[in-house]
Structure 1
Amino acid sequence: MKNICIGLFEGETLPESLAAFKDVKLDLEFGKITTIHTLNQLDCEKIVVVGLGDGKKNIKEAFSKVEADDYFVYVNENTAYAAGFGLVYGAYSYKETKVYDFESDGFTAEFEKGKTVASIVNHAREMSDMPANFLTPDHLVDEAKMVSEKYGMEMEVLDHDDLDQLGAGALLAVNQGSDRPCFMVVIRYDGGKEDEEYTALVGKGLTYDAGGYNIKSNMHGMKYDMCGAANMLCALELVAELKIEKNIVCVLPITENKVNGHGFVDGDVITSLSGKTIEVTNTDAEGRLILADALTMAQKLGATRVIDMATLTGACVRALGSTYTGIFSNDDSFYLPFLGASKATKEQIWRLPVDEYFHSELKCSKVADIVNSKTLGGNASLAAAFLEEFIEEGTKWIHLDIAGTSDKDEVATGVMIETIVHFFENECK
């Protein structure tokens, strides 16, 4: 028999089938694990009891603390999804991929959904944790191909020549310093009605960021600069797996930001896909440049709502730490349901301002329409304002800055995938 796992809230006791162990002292504080060795009283070696506290915290996190094993899991309506998610999420390891056999005693659909969601979130984590010499731009494109082919989605890969012909000067400028090619990946998921407009998922795909000629003094962790692209690709993968009835287009700009004799430099003026000219004032503010062309592309493809995700600014980390994802939006009717989704998943977000003050600060160039960076307090908002410069009138927009939440202790989190999919699911109800 499999080992047993059960999550209990404060005040709860073991079920009757485990009554032989009712006198064991259980610590049901959130995240505490009590291991009961059965000593041959059951056909399993141990019972693992997970403390869920008062239920106010994210109980998926409590289940993720369980040491991975093949478990039979006691669940109820309140714990089934969280148990399935947490056990699979917690079993993730980049160095050793192992499939564990988790079964529940009931609420099977909810439990299996939790497992499914976590397994696809783990796919994003695996891509993000991959060293940059393995996850090159080409490899990230191959990952996107595998997802699109698995679900029969239409995919287009725009290479350097395609992007040059289109005039995607911002993405091409960032790519100049790399000996590897750049791409823009477009994947369409047609799950909604024919006349339903598209929502775009746009993710920053910097597979490595050395900063360009504004070279970083510390490049540790810069492989994680593609978490936005990995998370958006896997959000689309999960939408397709769950057969959510929405029309979605995913746009992923992919490149490296490195230094060679051809790299772009401060003072260069580039023309973006939108036609807007940009004076480069910091080559390490490159994520917003490749996103600018991707945002334009998404709208050219018919998206009337856009969600973008990026490890964009250290300023957001300084403002919000590693718990809250920074969120910016130009439309409350788009933002508020998304906030509701984040509360349901308990992925915490915090709205930061983006207004005319920050836009006006960008319009100081004597040789171009805007600058890409400026030394200013509130740099997370300044970066968001730069992105909003490429949002057309009438397009609803959300920007997620995951610089502080994309990884924890050098392990990718897959942050905001669950919230995005929950948002789409609720819209379909």
Structure 2
Amino acid sequence: MVKSGSFTLDGPVAIFLFEDDFSNLDVLGEKRKVAEELLGLENFKGKEESLVKVHLPVDGKGFIPLYAVGLGKKDKTSLDSYRVAGALLVKRLKRDKVSSVCVYVGESLDYKLSKAITEGVLLGSYSFDKYKTKKEEEGVKVEKVTLHGADEEGIRVGSIFAEAQNFARDLVNEPGNVINPITLAEIAQKLAQEYGLECTIYDEKQIQEMGMNALWSVGKGSATPPRFIHLVYRPQGEPKEKIALVGKGLTFDSGGLNIKTGDYMRTMKMDKSGACAVLGIMKALAELKPQVEVHGLIGAAENMPSGTAYRPDDIIVALNGKTIEIDNTDAEGRVTLADVLSYASRLKPSKIVDMATLTGACIVALGEYTAGLFTNDDEFGDEILRLSKETGERMWKLPMDDKRLRKKIKKGEADVLNSGGRYGGAITAAMFLEEFVDEGIKWVHLDIAGPAYTKEEYGYYSKGATGFGVRTLLEYILSL
């Protein structure tokens, strides 16, 4: 869809412009003056996330569409400014039923800029309408975006990143009657076969035999039993490092016996966002082929109320031998992750990253656009945080050193309680998870409850799943 080429006036064109700095219009040559006048009539200033369309007279061609895309002030632009600009452009092209466009951002684009714009174009073109009998965007689709002077490798990698994120979005957007623990495991198997990954699926009997009682307890209330998914990407030759990615895979969360109200149960198909992000990352790794061994681990379950469901007051022995007392069955994600993190620790990776739509408390603390980052190693956490600024996936580090808060998950009759109460809930949830990570393993927990799913369209996101976390962790793995 995105390719490198040269800027021409043979058809629709787009030019990215800084606020009050229209020097990029020089590419139009003698047409610059008329273009600037047309933009002035539209009161276009180049502000961030602004876009106007004018019709530029071209000799022998009549008029061609010229899209001016604002980047904001030059000294305040980031890679994400370009990413968002690419998305805004492609969304407008779709509405205008324009199939191809030539884009000028500058005389030459380096790897990072080419990659960011490519990501924005592909992420912005995403839609999930497979269940609509009449598609919202029937007709012409954007098929070709030519970036003047772009870096070919940046386009290639950006395409893989964005396609992985869109793959994750597709999975998250699927409802619970389509994706359940069994079908999610089948998707993982199919992915492994197609991309040459290793894949092992453990069924409900094997889960119990392994001692994954926490995962089993959460999933046993559903008519659809849980699955444990283990994917592996192995590079050719000696790997530089071995890391584990863990994704929360609640294909639907009713809350269990502590059942959610209707408003809070709606959209709970998104409680598998962490797992879907892991699948998207594994897909991309098979294409990018970094020299790092990566294990993708998913505990897939459906949290439902029934006569076989787990109960408040239950005490469960997790895979690592620690006991968990259940305070609330709607704090189920951390219970499933207890076993998956224990399993990940047995693999002896140097690092573990888990992604989970874990707590409403994190949304209260940070809003719905920012993930909470928790870590047992500040250097590791800070590197993820640094990369998130490049990818535009907002994260903020929260503290793990409050001893009084930690006592709240130690008050029960078992080793740990699965809820520390309302206050500091995102932190106590992270503290709970840390109990299942072996000492000596660097660990980051991303609470993506807010940004994993959006009810509004913004930037390069449409309503629904965002695929949050995919690009940041891919950047990290490629940096190793």
Secondary structure of 1:303's partner? coil
Secondary structure of 1:65's partner? helix
Rate the CA distance shift 1:140–1:38 in 2: closer, same or farther, 3 A: farther
The correspondence for 1:23, drawn from 33, 37, 43, is 37
Rate the CA distance shift 1:138–1:309 in 2: closer, same or farther, 3 A: same
Counterpart-to-counterpart distance in 2, 1:3 and 1:226: 40
Rate the CA distance shift 1:126–1:81 in 2: closer, same or farther, 3 A: same
> 1:7 aligned to 2:54?
no
Conservation of the 8 A alpha-carbon contact between 1:132 and 1:208: yes
The correspondence for 1:362, drawn from 405, 409, 417, is 409
Q: Once the 2 structures are TM-superposed, how far is the Cα of residue 52 of structure 1 from its aligned partner?
A: 0.7
Conservation of the 8 A alpha-carbon contact between 1:31 and 1:63: no
User: How far does the alpha carbon of each residue in 1:353-412 deviate from its partner, in whole angstroms, 9 at most, with x for none?
Assistant: 12333332211122x221111324101000000000001110110000000110121411
Secondary structure of 2:15's partner? strand
Identity %: 35
Secondary structure of 1:103's partner? strand
Conservation of the 8 A alpha-carbon contact between 1:74 and 1:104: yes
Rate the CA distance shift 1:2–1:202 in 2: closer, same or farther, 3 A: farther
Secondary structure of 1:302's partner? coil
Secondary structure of 2:25's partner? coil
Equivalence for 1:334:
380
Counterpart-to-counterpart distance in 1, 2:454 and 2:316: 35
The correspondence for 2:369, drawn from 323, 343, 368, is 323
Equivalence for 1:210:
254
Q: Which moved more, 1:387-396 or 1:71-80?
A: 71-80
Q: TM-score, normalised by structure 1?
A: 0.94
Structure 1: which 5+ residue stretches go unaligned?
A: none
Equivalence for 2:243:
199
- In structure 1, what residue type is equivalent to 2:27? E
Conservation of the 8 A alpha-carbon contact between 1:233 and 1:250: yes
Equivalence for 1:306:
352
Equivalence for 1:77:
109
Rate the CA distance shift 1:143–1:48 in 2: closer, same or farther, 3 A: farther
Conservation of the 8 A alpha-carbon contact between 2:51 and 2:69: yes
Counterpart-to-counterpart distance in 2, 1:234 and 1:19: 47
Secondary structure of 2:38's partner? coil
Counterpart-to-counterpart distance in 1, 2:353 and 2:176: 25
User: How far does the alpha carbon of each residue in 1:276-307 deviate from its partner, in whole angstroms, 9 at most, with x for none?
Assistant: 11111100000001111110111112323100
Deviation above 4 Å: which 4+ runs of structure 1? 39-45, 96-99
Residues paired across the two proteins, number: 426
Counterpart-to-counterpart distance in 1, 2:121 and 2:45: 19
Secondary structure of 2:468's partner? coil
Q: Once the 2 structures are TM-superposed, how far is the Cα of residue 65 of structure 1 from its aligned partner?
A: 1.7
Matches within 5 A, 1:151-162: 151-162=195-206
Conservation of the 8 A alpha-carbon contact between 2:196 and 2:286: no
Equivalence for 1:47:
66
Matches within 5 A, 1:403-414: 403-409=449-455, 410-414=463-467
Matches within 5 A, 1:279-294: 279-294=325-340
User: How far does the alpha carbon of each residue in 1:31-67 deviate from its partner, in whole angstroms, 9 at most, with x for none?
Assistant: 1111122466548842222111124252212221222
Q: Which moved more, 1:270-279 or 1:282-291?
A: 270-279
The correspondence for 1:266, drawn from 283, 293, 312, is 312
Secondary structure of 1:102's partner? strand
Counterpart-to-counterpart distance in 2, 1:207 and 1:100: 33
Conservation of the 8 A alpha-carbon contact between 2:420 and 2:429: no
The correspondence for 1:94, drawn from 125, 128, 132, is 128
Rate the CA distance shift 1:51–1:275 in 2: closer, same or farther, 3 A: same
Conservation of the 8 A alpha-carbon contact between 1:192 and 1:246: no
Counterpart-to-counterpart distance in 2, 1:104 and 1:81: 11
Conservation of the 8 A alpha-carbon contact between 2:213 and 2:318: yes
Secondary structure of 1:30's partner? coil
User: How far does the alpha carbon of each residue in 1:196-226 deviate from its partner, in whole angstroms, 9 at most, with x for none?
Assistant: 4421000001010000000001311111100
Conservation of the 8 A alpha-carbon contact between 2:198 and 2:231: yes
Q: Which moved more, 1:13-22 or 1:124-133?
A: 13-22
Rate the CA distance shift 1:39–1:285 in 2: closer, same or farther, 3 A: same
Q: Once the 2 structures are TM-superposed, how far is the Cα of residue 100 of structure 1 from its aligned partner?
A: 2.8
Q: Once the 2 structures are TM-superposed, how far is the Cα of residue 6 of structure 1 from its aligned partner?
A: 2.6
Q: TM-score, normalised by structure 2?
A: 0.84
Equivalence for 1:172:
216
- In structure 2, what residue type is equivalent to 1:77? L
Alignment root-mean-square deviation, CA: 2.0
Rate the CA distance shift 1:19–1:83 in 2: closer, same or farther, 3 A: farther
Equivalence for 1:389:
435
> 1:418 aligned to 2:471?
yes
Counterpart-to-counterpart distance in 2, 1:46 and 1:144: 44
Q: Once the 2 structures are TM-superposed, how far is the Cα of residue 16 of structure 1 from its aligned partner?
A: 2.6
Secondary structure of 1:362's partner? coil
Q: Once the 2 structures are TM-superposed, how far is the Cα of residue 193 of structure 1 from its aligned partner?
A: 5.1
